[in-house]
Amino acid sequence: MPDTVKTALVTGGSRGIGRACAVRLAKSGYQVYVTYVSRPEPARETCRIIEEKGGRAACFPLDIGDSQAIVDFFKEKIKDRVFLDVLVNNAGMTMDGLLVRMGQEQWEKVIRINLSGSFFCLQQAAKIMMRQKTGRIVNITSVTAQSGNPGQANYTASKAGLIGLTKTAALELAPRNITVNAVAPGFIETDMTSGLNQQIREKYLEMIPLKRFGSSGDVAETVAFLASSGASYITGQVIGVNGGMYI
């Protein structure tokens, strides 16, 4: 028999938005499973933070660019072992470049990880949740999926694809009481944005009506709400966490 404790799986939970989501979901009472690709220590730190606050957590290596690895992971670590209540598809990457110079590997790797990887995680989670007749799936997309962004044709295409996936999955899974939503962060203070020079930061701040970058916690609060009973009638939606920024 599976563990009856409700479990939330957060892919790419080593840092930034993924870590914030894992910690926030643990605060809501979930046992949290965190995945990482190649750096175990940051993922273990996420688990330590959760455990120090009295929660339950475990971290696992998972390359979501490998569809067979995803199938094996769900079979060995999730199916018939835990009650999978929440999936947060957060893992992703960037390989920026102007589209006329973008190589095939740049394009295909970002699509494979950000979109295909999320699809296969969603697919495996859905099979489990359908048997449970309940579940919450939250895909982390981006404001750039709605606006476009120069130099990120691969990234924006992958994140826009997640929006289409979200809406279709929501329609297919609703009869089994499974909701599927997307959260589209704007400019969030993370490792990825910390390297921006002051001129670029000021340019982006001009686009944001609230005149500040968001925090990982802002995104995590939205994810936690979508995972809660209070969001049981919300599905197929894209929730912007962007300070009012629409280009």
Q: Which residues are annotated as catalytic?
A: 155
DSSP secondary structure letters along 189-209: -SHHHHT--HHHHHHHHHH-T
Read off the DSSP letter of residue 212: S
Specify which residues 137 forms β-bridges with. 87, 180
CB 81 within 8 A of CB 7: no
H runs (alpha helix) in the chain: 16-27, 40-52, 67-73, 104-110, 117-132, 144-147, 153-173, 191-194, 198-207, 216-227
Residue type, 101: R
Euclidean distance between CA atoms 146 and 136, whole angstroms: 23
